Structure 1
Amino acid sequence: MEATGYRLIADEGELREAAARVSAAEYVGLDVETTALSPLDGRLRLLQLATPGGTFVVDLFGVGSLEPLRGVLEGGPVKVAHNSKFEYSFLKHECGIAVSPIFDTMLTSQLIAGGERGLSHSLEEVVRRYLGRELDKTVRAEDWSGDLSRRQLEYAARDAAVLLPLHGKLRRVLREEKLEYVARIEFAAVPSLAEMELAGIRLDRRRWRELERVVRERRDRVARELEAQLPQPEGVLPLEGLGPGINLNSPGQVIEAFRALGLDLPDTREWTLMRVDHPAAKLLLEYRELQKKLGTYLETYPDYIHPGTGRIHASFAQCRVPTGRLACSHPNIQQIPHEDEFRSCFVAGEGYLFVIADYSQIELRILAEVSGDEGFVRAFRQGEDLHRVTAATMFGVPMEEVTGEQRSAAKRINFGLAYGRGAQSLSAQLGTDEERARELIDEYFASYPKVQRYLQGAAEKALRQRTLRTLSGRVRKFGDTSGLDRKARSALRREAMNFPIQGSSADIAKLAMIHMRRELEGLDARLVNSIHDEFVVECREEIAGEVAERVRRSMLRAGETLLRRVPVEVEVAISPEWRK
């Protein structure tokens, strides 16, 4: 090695020698430098591999091919990387190399933090927090496509080398915090997420633009109807085609307009408006919903279609939220409206079909599992309609006499209480007053007493012990709760009730992605979207049936890994569009 602690590799002979040296290590720091932030827009420039004996910096513009390193990167030593999805994506896209096994220091830092707010998980911050060192990252913004300076090479080598001591420290903390199992899930899910981002999903631009036109017409019609209901503020003239003259985003103006109608609103939030018995309130809710669909989705999503692939390649983050649910951005294709008119715009490629699979009531099954409530567990074991069973018990009627309205109320309560909702929120959803909502909640808990004990116990544990865990051991840390006011305390209790349920659902979903990737290996099939407990796989038409069965098998296996008392059910459909 050179005096600076790294060796620059610029030809195939040196690369083979480096491969032999690296393969003997147990852990290898892995980092890359690239000419852009996406493998679809840029190239790999450097690959850095750090061993206890020194660091190899491979100049891909010089060596051309990483084939001599394939065995090391696809097996052998554990590759330690910070945000390994980035390294995996570039190596997979440009070289066809699937990095394994992985230890990700960023994901580890996020797991250990347990949702603690305000913490950065950048490499420089994690190194500062756990090693007490300072990293100079100013070189990162320089041009990596031309001749590289010694300063750039040393920077690249340092970023890889620091991963080894960081790994040693984080591995000990993982063990102390009993997070090793959930960390293995997160590390193993990295390839699935990286490959899903690379695959992308196809949006039919023509259908989308037509839908935009239709929704804009609906919005303008509703705006005119709303304008006829609301008095205009003094001195303000309505603008034709742009809705009412008042600013619908101004709570003050909306409250003033409703006061002129004889309606005093405490605020303009959705659940407040839902309880107002006046056409203007319903029109305002509809107007806002249509405006959101236009501004958030219809007007912006075509801009995300990549010119080279013709697909949308969204970005998924594994541990950005405390529950471990995937977060999606650029754009958020997890939050596409459920209506068929939206989802049917996402289409499989020519000669391909979508296999669309989701878990049946997975969060309620998890609630049955963790609470052990006999009524809940029995309903799932006997394959009964849980919402109908709940309605029959709550309203004291035979199952066959449960009305649609009663079942709908039971469904909202089933899901609402699993999310820690109280009487105020549920009353808005049910279209009733808070007193009646509270009565229904009491009747519900009388039917499922262990569910109540579990939810209240989770909330008290969060306040008292300040930590909760999912079925896989994922931890949520709540910090000092002693100084919380009533509002903050209530919010924490709601979060605590939901965390083990939603977090366990996230654990199951990631296990499903891991199994799915292995099941689909060698087939012309790939995961193109994940919406919490729903998966969209694109595959050749002629193998759609086989793929559907493999996806189902993967999901059942994942659910059964964590749920022991309650059976798991998966619903699968095959379609040329993203709709069942």
Structure 2
Amino acid sequence: MSNVYDLVLLDASGYLFRAYHALPKLSNSRGEPTGALVGVLNMIRSLCERYQPRYIGVVFDAPGPTFRNALFADYKANRPEMPADLREQIDPLREIVRALGLPLLIIPEVEADDVLGTLATRAEAAGLRTLISTGDKDLAQLVTDRIHLINTMSDSLLDPDGVREKFGVPPERIVDYLSLMGDSVDNIPGVPKCGPKTAVKWLGEYGDLDGVMAHADKIGGKVGENLRESLSQLPLARQLTTIKRDLELELAPEDLSPGAPDSDSLRTWYERIESRRLLATLEAVADPEASSGTDPQASPKIEVDYQVILTEADFASWLERLQAAELFAVDTETTALDYMQAEIVGLSFAITPGDAAYLPLAHCYPGAPTQLKRNEILTALKPLLEDPTRRKLGQNLKYDMNVLAGHGIALQGVAHDSMLQSYVLDSTASRHDMDTLALKYLGHQCIAFKDIAGKGAKQLRFDQIDLEQAAPYAAEDADITLQLHRSFWPRLEQTPSLKQLYQEIEIPLIPVLSRMERLGVRIDAEELGKQSRELAERIAELEEKSYQAAGRKFNLGSPKQIGQIFFEELGLPVLSRTPKGAPSTAESVLEKLAEDGHELPHLILEHRGLSKLRSTYTDKLPRMRNPESGRVHTSYHQAVAATGRLSSSDPNLQNIPIRREEGRRIRRAFIPEPGYRLVAADYSQIELRIMAHLSGDQRLLAAFAAGADVHRATAAEIHGLPPEEVTSDQRRSAKAINFGLIYGMSAFGLARQLGIERREAQAYVDTYFARYPGVKAFMERIREQAGRDRYVETIFGRRLYLPDINHTNQQRRQGAERTAINAPMQGSAADIIKRAMITVDDWIQREQPPVRMIMQVHDELVFEIANEAIDAATSQIRELMQSAAELKVPLIVDIGVGENWDEAH
């Protein structure tokens, strides 16, 4: 079990009660009771010292009734009144917790358990690991891979396996287990004489509480009679036992950062309760040399020592330190965001947290101090930066690699990237930039670039910013990168599959993508210009036709005017409405209206599509050519798509539409250098092959093993025909089913896509699953596993977390289930092509053939290969790509060669 937790939650009321009964009845010289109070405070201190959480919450029960009392008037009616000497210790404990700077939560009308459950569940959805300190067995129902329990009195830690071992049932059956047994302390009705062994036995035989209730007539003996007599009250027992996880709390887990302690108040309280041990912790903070320990409650910020390197002596000293370091963080500051045009303004380094330096090299504002000469310094740094044995760390280090390459330095020894560590740990997190990560994981607000550079048209370049502001900003980048690494790396080490994925795929891919980006791709500006003019003519024609269909001129880009014409003037049906109640003109609405035969929506959709092609590609691509290389240079992003797929921007090469002729024509403008041709290597039906591998369905495996047309084979299975008698329409329907099921498509969606009745589509689906039972079993298995673990994995261990997989909202839950089915296929395909890129790049770097890997688009790699090397190179590329993974079915790569990308595809 991991010893690293982001959030620690304490069941303070529960511990105070248990400490009162378990510990000696101590009191101070005034006669005030202190035993339970001191016990809980020592427990809090120990927890903080041991786990050093970034977020912490101390949760108390609120006085008064809760919603459970409304459900059942006798809830907790048997509990004796709280002893007076215990009640006296509650307020002092709360005051001391506040003085410690720890977030204190007391939520009326619910129990502390519900607050703990809600916060832990929210934290899990945010990718955080939570430890709940409690002795309450009810909380075992909250345990997951990311939520654990600790009982500090017995020092026992419970993860999912621990729950099964202790109670005999998994966490998701704890509510059923408790409901069957009832709880005499809380006065929750259960089944008389049903103890733990009987509850475990019944749940093992019948699955869950509903299953036990459904088979009550089959259970003999007195306990069976008791069960049958208790059937009417078991649903209530389940309600009372179930911890709420969806309270509307004002505080999120990320809001529970500890504040600075009030030392004066703590001293007053510790003196009053006469605890020498607690007073000693204050002395240790006041005099650090008096103790090697630190006060965990203080959560002190790391003391920073940021230096500015302006002299040869300072540079020599830092260079020596960097050469001796096991790992150091490096970051570049530049003149531009475009890596092809950016020039280095300075570099920052960090070796230990809080100890960083900024090396300015090209600040040129009036009055700027004399700086070391950039060329000389970069020459001196080159051996260190190019040494593969000197381990480097960065945040989005690919950008720095590209910038350094522009100055003739080939960065090697890339060991870690904090952005990729965050991404591998939780790809579903919305952002992985430094500012977001620092605030989320370190509780640190980074210096914002706009605060030192301004914004808008008046924003300064980095070389124009005064060193007094630039140096702390730059040094902080390296320092925070190092601190993030120290937070993330232990988490990765706790999950070997994620660590392996990070070290064997994501980190090695950095230099591969860097080389691809800097190589770029050549485009034919004249061809794009011709296409742009033709698109403009077609767009103008569509405008005129739209005016004719509407009966007047209007702005085709105005939803308001379109809505007025559609629904007021033409009387088209209103299919949906905006949140404000107005008839919607969203693209999905236009598509449905066009499908129903309405002319104007069809014309507007075509107009929008062609206008986007023109503005995004035919007009824009020529302007994006680098003036020196004459090529366009995209940026590939590893930490964006949740499934692990790469994305690209400036330009976005992943989204060039190819379903229509105009989109395919854009690919004709992607051309090779003279003497070269473009080669496109595309994995054939890779996601279906992965489905066959994961499901193990025998018919699907056999179809791929035989090299059959899998869509034709599916159609043959569904219609009971020999493959040679399958019609093109039947094959098209089977293809829609094959790919639709991967994406979790329903019979309704299939009916809409094929233009058939829902009953007919459902019959197709039912027949498909009857013929491919392994696929259906896999889908059921993955839904169950996802519901239990709240994540799914690819073949190579990449995890996709699914916070909505058990959501009470059916639409959100079903969406998560569709993602659960698709993600292992799409994510595994992403992992496979990344492995292929690394392998192919290694061959190119090692053998130096006249081959350039220049683009990656979904399941396809595009190369620029010298004419004389085409045959040998394509053979090697196919072999390397097909061996990127060992599946139960063969990986097949289709390769095309042409004078442009469209011709090669």
Q: TM-score range by the shorter chain?
A: 0.7 to 0.9
CA contact (8 A) 2:550 2:600 kept: no
Query: For residues 207-244 of structure 1, what are the alpha-carbon distances to aligned partners after superposition, in whole Å with 9 as ceiling and x for unaligned?
Result: 1121123233334445555555x453xxxx236xx87x
CA contact (8 A) 1:355 1:572 kept: yes
RMSD: 3.0
Match of 2:682 among 347, 351, 358: 358
Relative to structure 2, which stretch is displaced further, 416-425 or 134-143? 134-143
- What does residue range 100-139 of structure 1 map to in structure 2 within 5 Å? 100-117=413-430, 120-138=431-449
Q: Please give the alpha-carbon distance, in whole angstroms, between the structure 2 residues aligned to 1:98 and 1:453.
A: 48
| Identity fraction in percent | 32
Q: Aligned-pair distance for 1:37?
A: 1.4
CA distance change for structure 1 residues 360 and 391 in 2, over 3 Å: closer, same or farther? same
Match of 1:175 in 2: 493
Question: What TM-score, normalized to structure 2?
Answer: 0.58
Match of 1:238 among 521, 532, 553: 553
- What does residue range 278-427 of structure 1 map to in structure 2 within 5 Å? 285-338=605-658, 339=661, 340-427=664-751
Q: Which secondary structure state, in structure 2, belongs to the residue aligned with residue 333 of structure 1? A: coil
CA distance change for structure 1 residues 15 and 76 in 2, over 3 Å: closer, same or farther? farther
Q: Please give the alpha-carbon distance, in whole angstroms, between the structure 1 residues aligned to 2:897 and 2:716.
A: 34
Q: Aligned-pair distance for 1:288?
A: 4.3
Q: Is 2:753 the partner of 1:429?
A: yes
Match of 1:276 in 2: 596
Q: Please give the alpha-carbon distance, in whole angstroms, between the structure 2 residues aligned to 1:467 and 1:346.
A: 39
Match of 2:566 among 254, 278, 283: 254
Q: Please give the alpha-carbon distance, in whole angstroms, between the structure 1 residues aligned to 2:872 and 2:407.
A: 30
Q: Please give the alpha-carbon distance, in whole angstroms, between the structure 2 residues aligned to 1:166 and 1:491.
A: 32
Corresponding letter in the other structure for 2:471: L
Q: Please give the alpha-carbon distance, in whole angstroms, between the structure 2 residues aligned to 1:352 and 1:56.
A: 46
Q: Please give the alpha-carbon distance, in whole angstroms, between the structure 2 residues aligned to 1:321 and 1:520.
A: 27
CA distance change for structure 1 residues 507 and 121 in 2, over 3 Å: closer, same or farther? same
Match of 1:51 among 351, 355, 358: 351
CA contact (8 A) 1:93 1:198 kept: no
Query: For residues 42-81 of structure 1, what are the alpha-carbon distances to aligned partners after superposition, in whole Å with 9 as ceiling and x for unaligned?
Result: 2112223332495564445514153443443230132110
CA distance change for structure 1 residues 523 and 102 in 2, over 3 Å: closer, same or farther? farther
CA contact (8 A) 2:336 2:343 kept: yes
Q: Please give the alpha-carbon distance, in whole angstroms, between the structure 2 residues aligned to 1:274 and 1:397.
A: 35
CA contact (8 A) 1:23 1:76 kept: no
Match of 1:38 in 2: 338
CA distance change for structure 1 residues 351 and 257 in 2, over 3 Å: closer, same or farther? farther
Q: Aligned-pair distance for 1:147?
A: 8.4
Q: Is 2:858 the partner of 1:532?
A: yes
Q: Is 2:336 the partner of 1:23?
A: no
CA contact (8 A) 1:8 1:56 kept: yes
Match of 1:210 in 2: 530
Q: Please give the alpha-carbon distance, in whole angstroms, between the structure 1 residues aligned to 2:722 and 2:804.
A: 48
Relative to structure 2, which stretch is displaced further, 81-90 or 428-437? 428-437
CA contact (8 A) 1:116 1:478 kept: no
Q: Is 2:895 the partner of 1:576?
A: no
Corresponding letter in the other structure for 2:629: T
Q: Please give the alpha-carbon distance, in whole angstroms, between the structure 1 residues aligned to 2:769 and 2:734.
A: 12
Q: Aligned-pair distance for 1:90?
A: 0.7
Match of 2:888 in 1: 565
Q: Please give the alpha-carbon distance, in whole angstroms, between the structure 2 residues aligned to 1:115 and 1:214.
A: 41
Q: Please give the alpha-carbon distance, in whole angstroms, between the structure 2 residues aligned to 1:489 and 1:258.
A: 38
Q: Please give the alpha-carbon distance, in whole angstroms, between the structure 2 residues aligned to 1:388 and 1:23.
A: 62
CA contact (8 A) 1:9 1:63 kept: no
Q: Which runs of 5+ in 2 are unaligned?
A: 1-303, 363-372, 454-459, 577-583
Specify which structure has the bigger relative contact order, considering alpha-carbon pairs within 8 angstroms and separated by 6 or more residues: 1
Q: Which secondary structure state, in structure 2, belongs to the residue aligned with residue 64 of structure 1? A: helix
Q: Which runs of 5+ in 1 are unaligned?
A: none
CA distance change for structure 1 residues 123 and 505 in 2, over 3 Å: closer, same or farther? same
Relative to structure 2, which stretch is displaced further, 445-454 or 249-258? 249-258
Relative to structure 2, which stretch is displaced further, 40-49 or 465-474? 40-49
Query: For residues 130-164 of structure 1, what are the alpha-carbon distances to aligned partners after superposition, in whole Å with 9 as ceiling and x for unaligned?
Result: 33334324466354336862443343233223333
Relative to structure 2, which stretch is displaced further, 134-143 or 446-455? 134-143
Corresponding letter in the other structure for 1:98: L
Match of 2:309 in 1: 8
Match of 2:399 among 74, 82, 86: 86
Q: Please give the alpha-carbon distance, in whole angstroms, between the structure 2 residues aligned to 1:454 and 1:546.
A: 40
Query: For residues 364-419 of structure 1, what are the alpha-carbon distances to aligned partners after superposition, in whole Å with 9 as ceiling and x for unaligned?
Result: 11111111111111111111110110010011111111111111111111111111
Query: For residues 159-207 of structure 1, what are the alpha-carbon distances to aligned partners after superposition, in whole Å with 9 as ceiling and x for unaligned?
Result: 2233333322211011224411221211111112222222222221111
Corresponding letter in the other structure for 1:69: L
- What does residue range 500-519 of structure 1 map to in structure 2 within 5 Å? 500-519=824-843
Q: Aligned-pair distance for 1:271?
A: 5.6
CA contact (8 A) 2:806 2:813 kept: no
Q: Aligned-pair distance for 1:450?
A: 1.3
Match of 2:191 in 1: none
Query: For residues 268-297 of structure 1, what are the alpha-carbon distances to aligned partners after superposition, in whole Å with 9 as ceiling and x for unaligned?
Result: 536624642566665555444334433443
Q: Is 2:885 the partner of 1:547?
A: no
Match of 2:478 in 1: 160
Q: Aligned-pair distance for 1:26?
A: 1.8
Q: Please give the alpha-carbon distance, in whole angstroms, between the structure 2 residues aligned to 1:253 and 1:464.
A: 50
CA distance change for structure 1 residues 398 and 515 in 2, over 3 Å: closer, same or farther? same
Q: Which secondary structure state, in structure 1, belongs to the residue aligned with residue 737 of structure 2? A: helix
CA distance change for structure 1 residues 285 and 407 in 2, over 3 Å: closer, same or farther? farther
CA contact (8 A) 1:219 1:291 kept: yes
CA distance change for structure 1 residues 133 and 428 in 2, over 3 Å: closer, same or farther? same
CA contact (8 A) 2:644 2:827 kept: yes
Question: What TM-score, normalized to structure 1?
Answer: 0.88
CA distance change for structure 1 residues 274 and 349 in 2, over 3 Å: closer, same or farther? same
Q: Please give the alpha-carbon distance, in whole angstroms, between the structure 2 residues aligned to 1:569 and 1:231.
A: 50
Query: For residues 439-466 of structure 1, what are the alpha-carbon distances to aligned partners after superposition, in whole Å with 9 as ceiling and x for unaligned?
Result: 2111211111111222233234333431
Corresponding letter in the other structure for 1:363: E
CA distance change for structure 1 residues 255 and 443 in 2, over 3 Å: closer, same or farther? farther
Corresponding letter in the other structure for 1:475: R
CA contact (8 A) 2:692 2:889 kept: yes
